[in-house]
Structure 1
Amino acid sequence: MAPPHGNDRQSSGRTPGHTRRALLAGVAAAGALGAAGCSRVATASAAGGGDLLDRLRAQGVVRLGIAGEIPFGYIDRNGQLTGEAPELAKAIFKRLGVGRVQPVPTEFGSLIPGLNSQQFDVVAAGMYVNPERCAQVVFADPDYQMLDSFVVRKGNPKGLHDYRDVVEKKARFATGTGYAEIQYAVDAGYEQSDILIVPDQVAGLNAVEAGRVDVFAGTAVTVRAVVRKSAKTEATEAFAPLVDGKPHVDGGAFAFRPTETALRDAFNVELRKLKKSGELLRILRPFGFTRAEMTDLTAKELCGG
Structure 2
Amino acid sequence: MSRRVSLTRSLLTLSLLAAAHAQADEATLQPQRLSIGSDLTYPPYTYREQGKPAGFDPAFMTLLGGHLKLQPQFVDTRFANLVMGVNARRFDLVASALYVTPERAAQVDFLPYLKSGASLMVRSDDSFRPQQPQDLCGKRVASIKGGSWIPKLAALSKDYCQANGQAPIDSREFPTSPEAAQALLAKAVDVQFEDAAVARITTDKLKGRVTISSSTLIYPVVIGLAVRKGNEALLGELRQGFSAMKQSGEYQALLTQYNLGEPSAAEIAQALGQNPQAAQ
TM-score for both structures, normalised by structure 1: 0.65
Q: Verify: 1:68 aligned to 2:44, yes or no.
A: no
Q: Which amino acid aligns with 1:265?
A: G
**Contact residue 220 and residue 238 of structure 1 kept, 8 A:** no
Match for residue 188 of structure 1 among 142, 146, 156: 156
Deviation at 1:107, TM superposition (A): 3.7
Deviation at 1:216, TM superposition (A): 1.6
Question: How far apart are the structure 2 equivalents of 1:203 and 1:84?
Answer: 21
Q: Which residue of 2 aligns with 1:84?
A: 56
Q: Which has the higher strand share?
A: 2
CA deviation map 1:269-300 (0-9, x unaligned): 432454566532533566xx314x43224654
Question: How far apart are the structure 2 equivalents of 1:105 and 1:208?
Answer: 25
Identity, % of aligned pairs?
Answer: 23
Question: How far apart are the structure 1 equivalents of 2:132 and 2:169?
Answer: 19
User: In 2 relative to 1, CA 196–139 (structure 1 residues): closer, same or farther, beyond 3 Å?
Assistant: closer
Q: Which amino acid aligns with 1:96?
A: L
Q: How many residues are paired up? A: 244
Q: Which has the higher helix share?
A: 2
Q: Which residue of 1 aligns with 2:236?
A: 265
User: In 2 relative to 1, CA 304–97 (structure 1 residues): closer, same or farther, beyond 3 Å?
Assistant: same
Q: Which amino acid aligns with 1:231?
A: G
Q: Which residue of 2 aligns with 1:223?
A: 199
User: In 2 relative to 1, CA 107–161 (structure 1 residues): closer, same or farther, beyond 3 Å?
Assistant: same
Deviation at 1:187, TM superposition (A): 2.8
How well do the aligned residues superpose, as a CA RMSD in angstroms? 3.4
1:61-210 matches, within 5 Å, as 61-71=33-43, 72-74=45-47, 76-98=48-70, 100-140=71-111, 142-154=112-124, 157-167=127-137, 170-189=138-157, 194-210=170-186
User: In 2 relative to 1, CA 53–252 (structure 1 residues): closer, same or farther, beyond 3 Å?
Assistant: farther
Question: How far apart are the structure 1 equivalents of 2:169 and 2:263?
Answer: 35
Deviation at 1:91, TM superposition (A): 0.4
Q: Which runs of 5+ in 1 are unaligned?
A: 1-43, 242-247
User: In 2 relative to 1, CA 235–109 (structure 1 residues): closer, same or farther, beyond 3 Å?
Assistant: closer
Q: Which has the larger radius of gyration?
A: 2
User: In 2 relative to 1, CA 78–224 (structure 1 residues): closer, same or farther, beyond 3 Å?
Assistant: same
Deviation at 1:67, TM superposition (A): 3.0
CA deviation map 1:80-122 (0-9, x unaligned): 2333222211101211222x11123334344334333433222
Q: Which residue of 1 aligns with 2:259?
A: 290
**Contact residue 201 and residue 226 of structure 1 kept, 8 A:** no
SS in 1 for 2:97: strand
Q: Which amino acid aligns with 2:142?
A: A
SS in 2 for 1:195: strand
TM-score for both structures, normalised by structure 2: 0.70
Q: Verify: 1:232 aligned to 2:209, yes or no.
A: yes
Q: Which runs of 5+ in 2 are unaligned?
A: 1-17, 162-166, 275-280
SS in 2 for 1:259: coil
SS in 2 for 1:266: helix
